[in-house]
Amino acid sequence: MGTEHFRPALESLINRHSQENGSNTPDFILAKYLVACLKAFDNATAERETWYGRDPRRGPASGPGGGEGACA
C-alpha cells in the first residue's frame, strides 16, 4: 500500500478513535508526521544494515530471532 492510500486511511483511523484530541492537532497533520516517522525508521534501519555490512534491501533476517513476526 503506497502512502497515497495509507495516509488518508491513517487520517481516518486517527479521527475515528479521536487520537487527535490529546494534542489538539488535526488528524491530517498527525498522519503526515507518522508517515514521516515510518520513512525515517526505514532510512535508519537501512543505514544500520549497511553499517553491519548487510544488504539493506534484503528484508528481515531468517532463522532464530528473525523473520516474519520477529520483534527487535
Q: Where are the domains of the chain?
A: 3-51
User: In 24-50, which positions are buried (b, 16+ CB within 10 angstroms) versus exposed (e)?
Assistant: eeebeebbeeeeeeeeeeeeeeeeebe
Question: Mean pLDDT of all residues in the chain?
Answer: 85
Please name the residues in contact with 57: beta carbons below 8 A apart, sequence gap of 6 or more: 46
Quickly state the pLDDT bin for 43 (edges 50, 70, 90): very high
CB 11 within 8 A of CB 28: yes
Please report which helix (H) or strand (E) contains residue 71, including its range.
Answer: none
Q: What is the average per-residue pLDDT within 16-41? A: 96
